[in-house]
Amino acid sequence: MTLLLFALTAYLLGSISFAVIASWIFKLPDPRTYGSGNPGATNVLRTGKKAAAVLTLLGDAGKGWLAVMLGQIYAPQFGLGNEAVAVSAIAVFFGHVFPVFLRFRGGKGVATAVGILLGLNIGVGLLAMATWLFATIVWRISSLSALIAATLTPVYAYGLMGFDLLSQAVLLMSITLIWRHQENIANLLAGKEGRIGERKTPES
pLDDT digits (tens, 9 = 90+) for 73-109: 999 999 999 999 999 999 999 999 999 999 999 999 9
Instruction: Encode pLDDT of 29-61 as tens digits.
Output: 999 999 889 999 989 999 999 999 999 999 999
Confidence of residue 204 (pLDDT cuts 50, 70, 90): very low
Q: Residue 40: helix, strand or coil by DSSP?
A: coil
> Of 199 and 1, which is predicted with more confidence?
1
Instruction: Encode pLDDT of 109-145 as tens digits.
Output: 999 999 999 999 999 999 999 999 999 999 999 899 9
- The pLDDT assigned to 64 comes to 98
- Helix, strand, coil % over all residues of the chain, rounded to 5: 75, 0, 25
Mean pLDDT of the chain: 94
Confidence of residue 201 (pLDDT cuts 50, 70, 90): very low
- The pLDDT assigned to 88 comes to 98
DSSP string, 119-180: HH-HHHHHHHHHHHHHHHHHH--HHHHHHHHHHHHHHHHHHHH-SSHHHHHHHHHHHHHHHH
- The pLDDT assigned to 1 comes to 75
